[in-house]
Chain A
Amino acid sequence: MYPAAFDYKRPESAAEAISLVNEFGDDAKFLAGGHSLLPLMKLRLAQPTVLIDIGRLADLSYIRDAGDHIAIGALTRHKDVETSALLRQHVPLLADAAAHVGDRQVRHRGTIGGSIAHADSASDLPATILALGAKLIAEGIGGRREIPAVDFFKGFLESALLPDELLVEIQVPKMSNAGWSFLKFNRRAQDWAIVGVAAWRDAGNCGVALVNMGSTPILATSVVRAIADGASVTDAAALACAEAEPQSDNNATAEYRTHLAQVLVKRALETCSR
């Protein structure tokens, strides 16, 4: 199908993008990789009248060592996250999660900022940055602000970003020597996750978040607490769905999703604990 008609703007800088979105207001949408927005527009589930194409803002595409964390520009493509030596060394969980996104074509177009701003609970990266306790940097007409990942995902396809704010940077803490595991359960290699788990563990500290187990990515706080309290992996994994609100769809009923999440959390924690 074809999208409804729209106007197209291509700003040269982040500042110009922000001023454009202020000019056009609610009718405008940022276009990054287009791999979430354009499918919705083709099905006419989204009908923005102005697209502000930020896809070529080179100054928003970078991966930098910032001491205790790695700073990633919002326009960085999944492919660059996947193959970054810096991330492979300091935040391997995120690089591996990026490698699980869609297929090659998708990873070459889609951006980390687009994926997070879109706030789809079925996406791989939102849960991953949640498990890692990342910070999101948003920029609006009044300047920059910092949003912790736990406060970012508000509801189904809903984030803490204001309509006229641009997500500019993702700050991910270094993992030092933590064990980690990203497990994605799907039917075909390039599919979205039916259920996914992003987990890391460093002795009694750990982070566990679930993909597609509710309207937002889910932080499995009960599992984290249980591990901190010295529970076994099996006992902790049994609490995997304490915070989840899984839905039923063609691929899985809520009951089966619950079962899968428990199996996957157990397997992920076993890998992390090795």
Chain B
Amino acid sequence: MTAPIETTGAAAEAQPEAVLEGVPSKRIEGRSLGQIAWLRFKRDKVAVAGAIVVILLVLIAALSRPLQSLLGLDPNEPNQSLIDPNTTLPLGDFGGMSADHPLGVDPKFGRDLLARVLEGSWVSLIVAFGATLLSVAIGTVLGVVAGYYRGRVDAVISRMMDVFLAFPLLLFAIAISASLQGGAFGLEGLPLHLSVLIFVIGFFNWPYMGRIVRAQTLSLREREFVDAARGMGARGPFILFRELLPNLVGPIVVYSTLLIPSNILFEAALSFLGVGIQPPQASWGGMLNQAVKYYEVDPQYMLVPGLAIFVTVLAFNLLGDGLRDALDPRSR
């Protein structure tokens, strides 16, 4: 907590009189802990690289559809002329790479792979972000409540977390996706699949966040500033959201960033198993699923979504680790 950054001695000195005179005017705007963390983060080259890749990925995902039309590509346009009718493999070397199709095309249909990874990127990120947001919202509120009120409230919430963590999530996800296939909640097709994925992944992952927030709250609540707030007449909600929560932002940001890649992997796994995003909609997991059948004859097909997942997960993990070091130097 005590940052090693104290450039001028002005603030650190004991004599109040000296401080009154000695403060250079430019330092009067205080440096928040966030600004200090930023300075620390900037020095971590690996984390900065991760952050840049993450920003690029988010931009690509957000602009995925415009990018596709800009490049004149369509992820769902079959192109039988590029396929060998006997083997159903793409014609040409490296999975049919060409100027028109820089990453090649997929076997059997001849759809452009660049367009399909681009299309998969927003699916992946929207599910990962949505699910993370949901887990963080539930986990933070329940975690901070359990940690602050302790006792029976904590016992109930903690047992709930145990139950959720013991839940056979994968089986549940398979069952729920299968049973909702036809349409539910007034949704069908892609919106339904996205919502189901976000709900299943997010709703069952909250205990990870809940535990971290609860543990941090347990130690924070013993700090004297909580007593100080109570001594001024603060009620529970004020203490939870005004006094405790601002001090939890660091760990929440860090673990959200680390939760995103694991959610990307989970989404890919579900789509791979055929219970996530349904074809013909492109998704990284779905592409891998189809690529498995061809991995000996057309390894390129597997490489493209595989690398996309790998780079994304790695970038988020590097960013998360860097954030942890910057925001919470004690946990190194």
| A and B interact physically | no
